[in-house]
Amino acid sequence: MSGMSTAAPTADRQGEVVWSVLIVEDSPEVATLHRRLVDSTTGFKAVHVSSNGEAGYAAVKRLRPHLAIVDLTMPGGDGLTFLRRIRQEALPLEVIVVTASRDAATVRETVHLGVVDYLVKPFAPERLRQALMAFGRRSRVLRRDQLAQDDVDLVQSSGAARMQRLPKGLKRSTLAAVESALARSERPLAADEVGEQIGVARVTARRYLEYLEVIGAAQVEREYRGPGRPRNRYRRAQATRT
């Protein structure tokens, strides 16, 4: 945990929270994939792509994004130097590292520099989406004045760690039933529809659906029908790889 204060998110026209994301990646193809995934994840928008750490640092100073997705090995300014610099200056930025670097010393240093997640290439797109959603939930928790132990546990753990331990009150059997309902459906489902299929209350189904969204196993779509709050519908996340 970096202990940094992340700026409050902005909102779109429908009042939905939007976190701005900077991509620091020297491969145009990989940067394009990252940008598409960020922009397709509810609550996130890629605001700029920088091809190296030096350009990334300038973009941080100019755009003040909430989050950066950073490669480590880049000509013209590597990711570790970028990380050290923003930490030294205490810039309000959180970082997800996406890299082919696997050596323990590099992982250890990025942890000490306070990255919120570390993804090793190649990885499934839902793993990056999972990291994004984990960042969003973590940041919302950190905006509270006081934190309970469960809140601290959530802030401390990465997206991958949370996949191994269900939040308090959730059951594996019910989670599997919700996942099966999404897998069987050819269209996105609302919480009340999932609840009716598996025999639980709408509120219960919604908790499981929100959890699946956080870990990247489900995607949410907003259904707008006139004035008022939109209705959330969920579909199973695609499992293609990058």
Q: Is residue 84 part of a domain?
A: yes
Regarding whether 135 and 71 lie in a shared domain, the answer is yes
Q: Is residue 153 part of a domain?
A: no
Regarding whether 102 and 213 lie in a shared domain, the answer is no
CA–CA separation, 99 and 118 (whole Å): 8
CATH number at residue 228: 1.10.10.10
CA–CA separation, 17 and 42 (whole Å): 9
* Mean pLDDT value across residues 87-91: 92
Regarding whether 51 and 92 lie in a shared domain, the answer is yes
Beta bridge partners of 49: 23
Domain count, the chain: 2
Regarding whether 120 and 64 lie in a shared domain, the answer is yes
pLDDT of residue 17: 67
Regarding whether 76 and 31 lie in a shared domain, the answer is yes
Q: Token pair 């331990």 is at which residue?
A: 165
Regarding whether 215 and 125 lie in a shared domain, the answer is no
Regarding whether 115 and 48 lie in a shared domain, the answer is yes
pLDDT of residue 122: 82
Give the pLDDT confidence of 176-219 residue by residue, as tens digits.
Answer: 899 999 989 999 999 999 999 999 999 999 999 988 877 767 88
CA–CA separation, 106 and 135 (whole Å): 21
Regarding whether 117 and 208 lie in a shared domain, the answer is no
Q: Is residue 52 part of a domain?
A: yes
pTM value? 0.64
CA–CA separation, 187 and 226 (whole Å): 21
Q: Is residue 157 part of a domain?
A: no
Give the pLDDT confidence of 94-143 residue by residue, as tens digits.
Answer: 999 998 888 888 888 998 898 989 998 888 787 888 888 888 877 777 77
Q: Is residue 64 part of a domain?
A: yes
Regarding whether 99 and 50 lie in a shared domain, the answer is yes
CA–CA separation, 35 and 45 (whole Å): 8
Give the pLDDT confidence of 154-166 residue by residue, as tens digits.
Answer: 666 655 555 456 6
Domain end, chosen from 142, 176, 205, is at 142
Q: 71: which 2 tokens? A: 């490669």
Provide CB contacts within 8 A for 174, sequence distance 6+: 198, 200, 204, 208
Range of the domain at 222: 166-236
Q: Is residue 150 part of a domain?
A: no
Regarding whether 179 and 105 lie in a shared domain, the answer is no
Q: Is residue 5 part of a domain?
A: no
CATH number at residue 25: 3.40.50.2300
Q: Is residue 112 part of a domain?
A: yes
Regarding whether 173 and 137 lie in a shared domain, the answer is no
Q: How confident is the model at residue 149 (pLDDT cuts 50, 70, 90)?
A: confident
pLDDT of 144 over the 60 cut = yes
Regarding whether 19 and 127 lie in a shared domain, the answer is yes
Domain end, chosen from 142, 157, 188, is at 142
